[in-house]
Amino acid sequence: MLERVTALTLGVLLLAATLAVAVRDARPEYGARQARFRQLVEQRLGAEAAAAVPAGIQQIWLPGVGRADRCPTCHQAVVWRGFERETHPWRTHPPAILSSHPVERFGCTICHGGQGWAVATAAAHGHVPNWSEPLLGDALAASLAPGLRGRQLQQVACNGCHRYESRTAGAEVVNRGKQLLEEKGCRACHRVDGRGGLIGPDLTWEGDKYPGQFDYARLSGRPTVFGWHLAHFADPRALVPGSVMPNFHLSVGDAAALTVLATSWRTVAVDPSLLGATPRRPAPPAGPTRAAGDAEGPGGWFIRTGCAQCHDVTVFGVKSPTPIGPDLSTAAEDTERRFSVPIETFVRNPTGVMEAVFARQLMLSPAQKDEAVRELRAAWAAEQARAAAPR
């Protein structure tokens, strides 16, 4: 008897659940949104225009990326004129960006993230568990960094296709990141697009790293890759004790720009037809990459050996393109003052950045190290002579 009651109850529950799903599908969320849009069109453009508003699921099939974007099911006004002041999802899309990237070819998610095939708001915007590409909107941006806007975060997506341009109109955050990459001399230690040093990791595909590949033990706040980079740019050693990456004392905005740039360096699986004539290869360096100075004259050794990648040697007229280390004109004396060791000992057994330089980038033999000491002493002697000379 009891079993029959249980079976009956289960049966009824199952039926109720099935009915509930059927009812929900018959009145999907987008139905009301489409009705509202039709009403707006009728008010503004008349009954005939309203009758032409499509009903049901609207989708853009994108063979170039192998997916369908159903965002226009709710965002019906995207390519209509005259709805610029409506609230979302009934607002006209900013038109300029769509004239160079027509929605029928590019869809929506390629720039905005989100879950293309979903037709309920939370799911479509990717605010659901286990969806790794949530909408690159204001909500996500604010949760990653205070003050960050969706349209800034979105540039991660722009740079997937535009990475080899030195500047892209409309991607100002990424442009700033690219400028900092050159100005701060990141390539003295990092290889990016096949060019740069070996002291830090190759960053060419940094954006492909999984969240699990970062250590969040020292990160306060939510453990996100974005948050990790922000904190690391603010102070590398706070996250990676003993790191030789310098603290560049970046503003919050500049740290965010480099974070957007670094996370944009990911492989994008789009058909070449969606890359058009955007460059497929790294651009030639924007600034000088070699030190200026006489490679054969006094101080030429610093240029030939590679020290001048990071150091000026002003007394010999050697000018580094990215002087992230101190001027070597006074190093022979400085090491005594700063590290309390004579220059021989420092060169033989350096600490900090120079330990990494000698271990990974410029592997000098003992004889070459002796030469380094002689050159550093010569620079200091020349510097003293210069200072003593009458002006």
Q: Which of 148, 303, 315, 357 binds ligand HEC (CB under 6 A)?
A: 357
Cβ nearer to ligand HEC, comparing 41 with 181:
181
Q: Which of 24, 88, 304, 386 binds ligand HEC (CB under 6 A)?
A: 88
Cβ nearer to ligand HEC, comparing 47 with 267:
267
What is the rounded distance in angstroms from the CA atom of residue 382 to the CA atom of residue 379?
5
Q: Name which of residues 278 to 317 contact ligand HEC (CB under 6 A).
A: 278, 305-307, 309-311
- Cross-strand pairs, 313: 318
Q: Which residue stretch of 18-26, 114-122, 279-287, 289-297 sits at the interface with ligand HEC (rule: CB under 6 A)?
A: 114-122
Q: Name which of residues 226 to 285 contact ligand HEC (CB under 6 A).
A: 229, 232, 236, 240, 243-246, 248, 258, 262, 270, 274-278
- Cross-strand pairs, 191: 196
Cβ nearer to ligand HEC, comparing 50 with 275:
275
95 touches ligand HEC (CB under 6 A):
no
What is the rounded distance in angstroms from the CA atom of residue 199 to the CA atom of residue 190?
6
Per-residue b or e along 345-372, where b marks 16 or more CB atoms closer than 10 Å to that residue's CB:
ebbbebeebbebbbeeebebeeeeeeeb
Q: Which residue stretch of 13-21, 45-53, 94-102, 282-290 sits at the interface with ligand HEC (rule: CB under 6 A)?
A: 94-102
Q: What is the DSSP pairing of strand 60-62 with strand 67-69?
A: antiparallel
Q: Name which of residues 149 to 178 contact ligand HEC (CB under 6 A).
A: 150-151, 154, 157-158, 160-162, 168-171
Cβ nearer to ligand HEC, comparing 45 with 243:
243
Instruction: Judge whether 263 and 207 are in contact, CB under 8 Å.
Output: yes
Instruction: Output the smallest distance, CB 8 to ligand HEC, in A.
Output: 37
Please work out the total of residues on this chain that contact ligand HEC, with binding judged by CB under 6 A.
Answer: 105
Cβ nearer to ligand HEC, comparing 14 with 83:
83
- Cross-strand pairs, 292: 319
Cβ nearer to ligand HEC, comparing 41 with 185:
185
Instruction: Output the smallest distance, CB 366 to ligand HEC, in A.
Output: 13
112 touches ligand HEC (CB under 6 A):
yes
> Which alpha helices (DSSP H) does the chain contain, by range?
2-26, 29-45, 47-51, 95-100, 103-106, 109-112, 121-124, 138-144, 150-153, 155-162, 172-183, 225-234, 236-239, 252-264, 300-305, 331-339, 343-348, 352-356, 366-388
- Cross-strand pairs, 60: 69
Query: Among candidates 368, 365, 388, which has minimal Cα distance to 376?
Result: 368
- Cross-strand pairs, 226: none
Which string of DSSP letters, residue by residue, matches 31-80? HHHHHHHHHHHHHHH-HHHHHTS--S---EEETTTTEEE-GGGT-TTTT-
Q: Name which of residues 324 to 343 contact ligand HEC (CB under 6 A).
A: 324-326, 328, 331, 334-335, 338
Q: Which residue stretch of 5-13, 35-43, 106-114, 292-300 sits at the interface with ligand HEC (rule: CB under 6 A)?
A: 106-114
Cβ nearer to ligand HEC, comparing 188 with 256:
188
CA dihedral 123, 124, 125, 129 (to 10 degrees): 30
Binding mask 33-62 for ligand HEC (x = CB under 6 A): x-----------------------------
Give the DSSP H or E segment for 192.
strand 191-192
Q: Which residue stretch of 13-21, 34-42, 45-53, 87-95 sits at the interface with ligand HEC (rule: CB under 6 A)?
A: 87-95
Instruction: Output the smallest distance, CB 5 to ligand HEC, in A.
Output: 41
Instruction: Output the smallest distance, CB 11 to ligand HEC, in A.
Output: 33
First-residue to last-residue Cα distance in the chain = 113
